[in-house]
Amino acid sequence: MTWLRRQPAWVTVSLSFGLLLLVWQLVVLVGAYDAFILPGPLDVVRQFGVVLVDGRLLRHSLITLSEVIPGLLIGAGISLPLGYLLAKSPLAERLISPYLIASQAIPVIAIAPLLTIWISSTFWARVLVAVLVVFFPVLINIIAGLRSVPQELYELMQSLHATRWQIFRKLEWPAALPIVLAGLKLGATLSVIGALVGEFVQPRTEGLGYLLITARYQFKTDLVFVVLFTLAGMALALYGLVTLAENRLLRWQKNQ
């Protein structure tokens, strides 16, 4: 245990992942499942090689990614001004927040079919589903971040006759940034789910969602696993990107 604690993160992650694969392979061997019920890790790796080589995995991944990224950017982009408005104006909060909260009570999977009826573009319908999923948690964090600014710092800025823009730029934005970035991390993983939901209700011949559905119909369970791992990898990569941005932007936190 002490030895394990002293290892760098990549060693512990590799170890735990290796252990997971081992247990998985054991379950397959002991249970003697058919590959279409539970494929072993080796089957999945083999299938991964196949779809990687024939280019299908990359093509579908890029299409999903092309929905995830605008979904994340637009979702966060809408949250920012709206969050500012809600944090600053009690009236706006009273008027808008009941709808925002009510909208979160309806699962996005239930709204998504409506969106595909209203929006003819497959791409934009899927992006919009991702936007809907990303939007709320990022919004909540932006509001929480802006509200965390100490009142006395506002007074300090006012005593210096700072403009509204200066107050935002030099006080509110940097003060809110740690919480906003935490929201963005959450949003990054949710955007992948959002795009996938969008693809489920709009399964034209493209995207990882489409690949998942067709693989399931054809009982290619190993391919289902490949898609699942790819989605997880995509979410992890986006999360990692936000973490990287965080490390750069919040360098001052390292010194605490």
Partner 1 sequence: MNQEPFLTAQNVSHLFGEQQKVLANLSFGLPAGGFTALVGPSGVGKSTLVRLLAGLLRPSSGQIQYANNQPPSIGLMFQKDNLMPWRTAYENVRLPLEIQGVAEGVADTAVRQMLDLVGLNDFAQSYPAQLSGGMAQRVALARALVHRPSLLLLDEPFGALDALTRERMGQELLRIWAALPVTVFMVTHSIQEAVLLADEVMVMGGQPATIVARIQIALPRPRRIEMIGSKQFQECAGAVRLAIEEKVIG
Nearer to partner 1, 179 or 211 (CB): 179
Radius of gyration of the chain (CA): 22
Q: Does 171 bind partner 1 (CB under 8 A)?
A: yes
Secondary structure of residue 6 in the 3-state scheme: coil
Contact region for partner 1 (CB under 8 A) — 86-94, 123-131, 167-175, 183-191?
167-175
**Footprint (CB under 8 A) of partner 1, residues 145-164:** 150, 152-153, 155-162
Token output for 133: 């999923």
CB of 43 to partner 1, least distance (A): 50
Whole-angstrom distance, CA of residue 67 vs CA of residue 64: 5
Q: Are 242 and 184 in contact (CB under 8 A)?
A: yes
- 49 token code pair: 């090689």
Site residues for partner 1, 235-254, by CB under 8 A, read 250, 252-253
Q: Which residues from 175-214 bind partner 1, rule CB under 8 A?
A: 175, 177
x/- site string to partner 1, residues 110 to 149, per CB under 8 A? Answer: ----------------------------------------
Separation between Cα atoms, residue 206 and residue 164, nearest integer Å? 46
User: Dihedral, CA atoms, 66, 67, 69, 71, nearest 10 degrees?
Assistant: 160
Contacts with partner 1, residue ranges (CB under 8 A):
150, 152-153, 155-162, 166, 170-171, 174-175, 177, 250, 252-253, 255-256
